[in-house]
Structure 1
Amino acid sequence: MARARSGTKPPLLDPIRLDDLTDADGSELFSGADVEARRFTDCDFEGRDLTGVAFRECEFHTVSLNDAKLRGATLSECVAGELHAAIFSAPRSAWRDVRIEHSRLGSVELYESSLRSVQFDGSKLDFVNLRNAQLHDVLLSNCIIEELDLGSATVQRLELQNCRIGTLDVTRATLKDVDLRGSDFSVIRGLEGLRGATIDDAQLSLLAPIMAAHLGIIVE
């Protein structure tokens, strides 16, 4: 069903076109490597030190990144499907024009990272740590997320579309054009941080008890 018009601006996602990719097994990957136009299929990078690696115009399919060290990594014009990692550690990384689909990630460490024109679709994520991150033009669609932590993050044009979120933490977040309509939440922390978000009538009714408790209002 088409969503009613509103003044909330949707994310602007650039199309990703990948041509002339070379199949690779990851043997050339190392800390600080610059990797371009590669296709990784059925690769296991568990525990690998990939600190500061740069992936440009790359495709990943059925890749394990459990406990790989991706601190400070750069991902640009990349597409990934069926990623697996109980621990996905990429703090202070930079993402631009990235799409991740049908993946299963546990603890996702993306604090102090920059995400621009990024989409997660049809994925199951446990704990997503985006504290102090910069998000511009991000779409989360058809995802199940146990906890989404946007504490102290700066967020512009984020849309959560048909998602189920256990806990949303927006403590001290700065939000602009953040569309939460059509998604379900069990707990929201840091209600003041919701300023700048758009919700629907059903979500407002669910938030009413949380808001009342936050303000010390007794409802009888």
Structure 2
Amino acid sequence: MPELTEGTTFRDEDWYGEEIIDRRFVDCEFHRVDLTEALTRGAVFTGCTFGNVSFNASRHVDSAFTRCVFRRCNLFEAEFTGCKLVGSTFTECDLRPLVVDGGDWSFVALPGADLRGVRVTALRMREADLTGADLTGATVTGVDLSGASLHGVRLVRADLRGSDLTALDPTRVERTGAILDVEQAMVIAQTLGFELG
């Protein structure tokens, strides 16, 4: 059984380069913890709060951060592979450059997030809140954005090929130079009322 830590508060701790393997944290708080270059693998964080935590160059593999709160955290060059972040929220976080490959980030709240140039591939982001987020120059390919809140999103020069854009109203986003595949272009044309022949 994974080691369980419940209801604990961690403050001003140095976890630089730590390997957090197959551990569970439930309702824990992390404040000013240094997780720079740390690795989580198979770790589970449920209902945890991260405040002013440094995730710089950290790597997360097959880990879960469900219903977690991230406030003023730094995720510079952080990588998430096959991770589950369902229902988590990010507020005033530095998220660039971020790499996310696979996993489930459904119901994640990233309103107004600066996501310029991030790389997000093969990810489920159903009903995620990306209201007003800036995805300028981002790679968002093969991402399930069905039901997502995309009002006011900046998609300038973003690569969106293979992503589900059925929730996108192209008249309410900035989209100059955004890259689509043919199937997506047809869906958006139909959204705008065009009949394809």
TM-score by length of 1: 0.76
Paired position in structure 2 for 1:169: 149
How far off is 1:157 after superposition? 2.3
Distance in 2 (alpha carbons) for counterparts of 1:175 and 1:187: 14
Instruction: Please say if residues 112 and 134 of structure 1, whose CA atoms lie closer than 8 Å, have aligned partners that are also in contact.
Output: no
- Tell me the equivalent position of 1:50: 30
Q: How far apart, CA to CA, are the structure 1 residues paired with 2:167 and 2:145?
A: 8
Shift of 1:94: 1.9
Q: Once structures 1 and 2 are overlaid, which stretch shifts more, 74-83 or 186-195?
A: 186-195
1:62 to 22, 29, 42: 42
Counterpart secondary structure, 1:155:
coil
Q: Which residue of the partner structure matches residue 167 of structure 2?
A: 187
Q: For residues 54 and 189 of structure 1, what CA distance do their matches in structure 2 show?
A: 40
**Matched residue type, 1:211:** L
Greater displacement, 190-199 / 89-98: 190-199
Give the CA deviation at 1:192: 2.3
Does structure 1 residue 86 correspond to structure 2 residue 66?
yes
> How much has 1:75 moved relative to structure 2?
0.9
Question: Which structure shows the bigger proportion of residues in strand conformation?
Answer: 1
When structure 1 is superposed on structure 2, of 126-135 and 148-157 the one drifting more is: 148-157
- Given the alignment of the two structures, is residue 158 of structure 1 paired with residue 153 of structure 2, yes or no? no
Residue range with higher mean Cα deviation, 54-63 or 86-95:
86-95
**Alignment RMSD (CA, Å):** 2.7
Residue in structure 2 matched with residue 124 of structure 1 by the alignment: 104
Change in 2 beyond 3 A, CA 1:51/1:176: farther
Higher relative contact order (CA 8 A, sep 6+): 1
- For 1:153, give the aligned amino acid: A
Query: In the TM superposition, what is the alpha-carbon distance from 1:87 to its structure 2 partner?
Result: 0.7
Structure 2: tracts of 5 or more residues without a match = none
1:29, distance to aligned residue in structure 2 (A): 7.3
For residue 179 of structure 2, the aligned residue among 171, 194, 198 is: 198
Aligned residues: 191
Gap runs ≥5 in structure 1: 1-24
2:11 to 15, 31, 39: 31
Q: Residue 191 of structure 2 corresponds to which residue in structure 1?
A: 210
Question: SS of the counterpart of 1:202?
Answer: helix
Query: Kindly tell me: are residues 200 and 53 of structure 1, through their superposed partners in 2, closer, same or farther at Cα, counting changes over 3 Å?
Result: same
> AA paired with 1:64?
V
C-alpha deviations, 1:83-138, integer Å up to 9, x for none?
A: 12331221332211111111222112113322112111120221121111111321
**Which residue of structure 1 lines up, in the alignment, with residue 95 of structure 2?**
115
Between the aligned partners of 1:151 and 1:94, the Cα distance in structure 2 is 21
1:10-52 deviation digits (Å, cap 9, x = unpaired) = xxxxxxxxxxxxxxx98x9713433211111111121111133
Given the superposition, is the C-alpha separation of residues 185 and 195 from structure 1 closer, same or farther in structure 2, using an over 3 Å criterion?
closer
Describe the shift of the 1:34–1:175 C-alpha distance in structure 2 as closer, same or farther (beyond 3 A): farther
Task: Give the secondary structure class of the aligned counterpart of 2:126.
Answer: strand
Q: Is the 8 A contact 2:24 2:45 kept in 1?
A: yes
Structure-2 separation of matches of 1:218 and 1:163: 26
